[in-house]
Structure 1
Amino acid sequence: MNRAALRILCGLALGLVGGSIMAGRAGATPILAVTASIGRLWLDALTMTVVPLVFSLLVTGILGAAEDARQSRVALRAMLWFAALLAGGCLAAAMSTTLLLQLWPVGDAAASLRPEGAVPAFGGAADWISGIIPTNPIKAAAETAMVPLVVFALFFGFAAARIPAELQRALQLLFRAIAETMLVVVHWVLIVAPLGVFALAFGLGVRAGADSVGVLVHYIVTVASACLLILILAYAAVFVFGRLSPLRFAKAALPAQIVALSTQSSLATLPAMIEAAPGLSVGRASAGIILPLAVSIFRGASAAANIAVALYLAALYGQVPSPGMLVIGALAAAAVSLAAVGLPAQVSFFATIGPVCLALGVPVELLPLLLAVETIPDLFRTVGNVTADMAVLRLAGREKPALAAGGESG
């Protein structure tokens, strides 16, 4: 755990303990008024960066991916597998998380965690479909309407990939500058994250007391389950489509998974994944194309975990998504995962989960508190991401049987 994460965790712990101690006391009300204002200001400062940051990162991510796909057929195959596994994994995670929360609900303690005010309701899938294309993208951005904004960003990015190369470079430079500027603002806001999290956690402690700890543990298990599901789906995809036995895939993937668990970084695991390529009957040349691309833009487990976080927050507010809204949330999580390219964990947590919550109409007030305990789910995210990367390595880069080194089982 790095120092920044430790400071945020300390802010969470102090806020929960302080709030629990002050619960029911006469002096709690004026203190709560101050901490609520501080927490609200900090959260608003963080939220104001979401729209320009996500739009810029989506456009630059699409332009970069399109360029890579044009340069190599192997890269194009990898891109297609990225898209298929992202969409399928997010849909599976959305359904499994909803089922898990029905079988193991958040409980009565959730009611005390909600900030005061009316509980928002999910819109219908029909309403979403009618508003998916923004008639005024600027208005959509001003209203933080993330689904139409993401759709516009995808159209914009794919269209930009068809214009002359010199104009593409100009757009990439412009949106990269916007994204980098927003990242500076986010880093400024995160400097005072311990104070903001303390202020939000204090109110949580006053409302829920010790029950809040149980809810956080429940949250960790829920998100970790979504990541483990992606790991299982990666093994299944390799077995069904890659024609490789789960045992052989597990043997090849284990060293990289151990590195991922110890470093919590897909990028740091890249050398170990490249070393595993021969065990998957993939040439090093193909691995040298697929794996750098995978660690840059493909985060299968993270995207699945993001929809799980949004659905968990919905459950805390007593919201029950319809099947149509589950599909919407899953596709939004898959698309927005491109916005995590090259971002630090704390920044990507807000940049990728915030838009999914906003797309579903789920309030984000409790999201910073979940960031404080993100270190544990992040272990499962990284292992799941690395396993999915290696699955795509096999699926997109495997050698033909006549050229493969060694036989294949399964």
Structure 2
Amino acid sequence: MRRYHRWALSPWTVLACVLAGGVFGWAAPAPARALGPVGVVYVDLLKMIVLPFMISAVIFSLQNLYREGGASRIFKRMALVFAAFSVAVALLATCTSLLFNPGSGLSPDTRAALGKLVNEDGDRSNTVMSMREEAAPPPSRSIGQVLESLIPQNIFAALANGETLKALVFALLFGFAAGQVPTRLSSGLHEALGTIYHACQTLTRWVNLPLPAVLFCMAAAQIAHSGLEPLQVMAGFVATFLGLSLLLLGAGVLVIARRAGVAHGAVLGALREPFALGVATSNSATCMPAMIDGLAGKLQFSRARVELLVPLTISLLRMGSVAYCVCGTLFIAALYGRPLGAGDVLLLALVSMLSGFASAGMTGIVTVSLVGTTAAYLALPFEAVFVLLAAVDPLCAMARTAVTVVTGCAAVASVCDEPVKL
């Protein structure tokens, strides 16, 4: 079983299953569309585990940190690391996108194909209507309203609605309070949370057993639904973002290897499972158990710190979304021939970092809408380009999630003390 698990979560197995599913979806679209529910059920099963796992992990690890001491030092270092990672990713994404400039120099045939893709709609009405109507300005929100939206009035309602940030805020506050309770009174809660935490990890391993077949079904259904034309006409943007993602993934592996004091191959082996899950599900929250197992179990970082930092990192430090906002906005600027000055580029980097923090809990095509926020600050049109970005988002979402997971692991490794080698 262990050998099968390693094979199923190998990056080569993941790539082979995705390619095989894509070929099947292109060659036999009718039966491939029928495989779509397999992926939906699989992702729902993983989402089912996320909230109980996150709450138990945060409270459980905070109790452990209070028993060991040093909780305040961890949070100060976390704030510095999060800020440094956000700035570095935003600047790297900006430089890469400006270097390759994917939206400029398109041939007339490619522009015609892009226009056709924009205007394709089921009844040819919704897209055209939205392009001709004047877009309503986004409602302004004060800082007080934003903070109020983070506080769950009813934690059970927040759990039922899948509101990850509200559940995280509750877990943090409850964990801080539980850490002040004497050990003789909190030992029962500690043991119960530990049971929930380990049970969720076991359940995640069980759900991951059919991953190769699920990947095949998901890729086949996606290609059968959208075809290959979106990838062909958006090849420049997709290639640029995938290249940027590979660069960020490599940087993340280098940081982890240096902090852990191990070879790069050992880091790749430890991150095999969270990377495969990120590509398969396009949902970074479902990767939390695998991230904790890789960092604490395989790379020997402090388990108490890793169990606390991984949920915080996945919820707040979404570097895949930051890189995507930068790349998508610069693609729109190049597509419409809008020159950007140094001030515009710095504003783009800043707004993209904030948008990355705002993307907590967002998955899939909802994340694409964040590009509209950054485009609005630079007075760039977004409505028509949204259709183009949405058409290739399934592939970009895989890379976006993988970047969030691996850079999140790098951030956790940077906050934690270096593991002691015996």
| TM-score, normalised with respect to structure 2 | 0.54
Q: Residues 102 and 137 (structure 1 numbering): CA distance in 2 closer, same or farther, change over 3 Å?
A: farther
Instruction: Give the match for residue 44 of structure 1.
Output: 40
Are 1:57 and 2:21 counterparts?
no
Question: Structure 1 stretch 384-393 or stretch 62-71: which is displaced more?
Answer: 384-393
**Residues in 2 aligned to 1:174 and 1:125: alpha-carbon distance in whole angstroms:** 40
5 Å matches for 1:299-378?
A: 303-308=317-322, 311=325, 326-330=353-357, 357=367, 369=395
**Residues in 1 aligned to 2:407 and 2:349: alpha-carbon distance in whole angstroms:** 30
**Residues in 2 aligned to 1:317 and 1:34: alpha-carbon distance in whole angstroms:** 35
Are 1:126 and 2:153 counterparts?
no
**Residues in 2 aligned to 1:258 and 1:9: alpha-carbon distance in whole angstroms:** 19
Contact 2:102 2:237 in 1 (8 A): yes
Are 1:208 and 2:230 counterparts?
yes
Instruction: Give the match for residue 157 of structure 1.
Output: 171
Instruction: Give the match for residue 77 of structure 1.
Output: 73
Shift of residue 14, structure 1, vs aligned partner: 3.7
**Residues in 1 aligned to 2:59 and 2:349: alpha-carbon distance in whole angstroms:** 34
Of residues 195, 206, 214, the one that matches 1:192 is: 214
Contact 1:259 1:269 in 2 (8 A): no
Shift of residue 183, structure 1, vs aligned partner: 6.3
Contact 1:270 1:295 in 2 (8 A): yes
| TM-score, normalised with respect to structure 1 | 0.55
Instruction: Give the match for residue 259 of structure 1.
Output: 266
Please tell me the root mean square deviation across aligned C-alpha atoms, in Å: 5.6
Shift of residue 66, structure 1, vs aligned partner: 0.6
Contact 1:270 1:291 in 2 (8 A): yes
**Residues in 1 aligned to 2:60 and 2:357: alpha-carbon distance in whole angstroms:** 23
Contact 1:273 1:390 in 2 (8 A): no
Contact 2:25 2:219 in 1 (8 A): no
**Residues in 2 aligned to 1:272 and 1:54: alpha-carbon distance in whole angstroms:** 22
Code of the aligned partner of 1:259: A
Code of the aligned partner of 2:357: A
Contact 1:231 1:301 in 2 (8 A): no
Q: Residues 175 and 103 (structure 1 numbering): CA distance in 2 closer, same or farther, change over 3 Å?
A: same
Instruction: Give the match for residue 285 of structure 2.
Output: none
Instruction: Give the match for residue 221 of structure 1.
Output: 243
Instruction: Give the match for residue 19 of structure 2.
Output: 13
Of residues 377, 393, 398, the one that matches 2:417 is: 393
Q: Residues 101 and 313 (structure 1 numbering): CA distance in 2 closer, same or farther, change over 3 Å?
A: closer
Shift of residue 16, structure 1, vs aligned partner: 4.5
Code of the aligned partner of 1:192: V
Code of the aligned partner of 2:165: V
1:231-282 Cα deviation digits (max 9, x unpaired): 89x79xxxxxxxxxxxxx97x87754463256646867879978xxxxxxxx
Identity %: 15
Contact 1:231 1:388 in 2 (8 A): no
Aligned-partner SS, 1:393 = coil
5 Å matches for 1:267-282?
A: none
**Residues in 1 aligned to 2:392 and 2:209: alpha-carbon distance in whole angstroms:** 20
Instruction: Give the match for residue 240 of structure 1.
Output: none
**Residues in 2 aligned to 1:271 and 1:174: alpha-carbon distance in whole angstroms:** 18
Q: Residues 271 and 158 (structure 1 numbering): CA distance in 2 closer, same or farther, change over 3 Å?
A: closer
Aligned-partner SS, 1:156 = helix
Contact 2:248 2:407 in 1 (8 A): no
Shift of residue 55, structure 1, vs aligned partner: 1.9
Shift of residue 217, structure 1, vs aligned partner: 3.8
**Residues in 1 aligned to 2:305 and 2:92: alpha-carbon distance in whole angstroms:** 25
Shift of residue 178, structure 1, vs aligned partner: 6.0
Code of the aligned partner of 1:126: R
Shift of residue 200, structure 1, vs aligned partner: 0.9
Contact 2:102 2:236 in 1 (8 A): no
Code of the aligned partner of 1:329: G
1:292-318 Cα deviation digits (max 9, x unpaired): 455555569985543357648966997
Q: Residues 293 and 228 (structure 1 numbering): CA distance in 2 closer, same or farther, change over 3 Å?
A: farther
Contact 1:63 1:157 in 2 (8 A): yes
Shift of residue 61, structure 1, vs aligned partner: 2.1
**Residues in 1 aligned to 2:48 and 2:250: alpha-carbon distance in whole angstroms:** 32
For these two proteins, the number of residue pairs brought into alignment is: 333
Q: Residues 158 and 329 (structure 1 numbering): CA distance in 2 closer, same or farther, change over 3 Å?
A: same
**Residues in 1 aligned to 2:41 and 2:67: alpha-carbon distance in whole angstroms:** 40
Structure 2 regions of 5+ residues with no counterpart?
Answer: 1-5, 273-290, 334-346, 372-385
Contact 2:238 2:392 in 1 (8 A): no
**Residues in 1 aligned to 2:91 and 2:168: alpha-carbon distance in whole angstroms:** 25
Aligned-partner SS, 1:67 = helix
Code of the aligned partner of 2:15: L
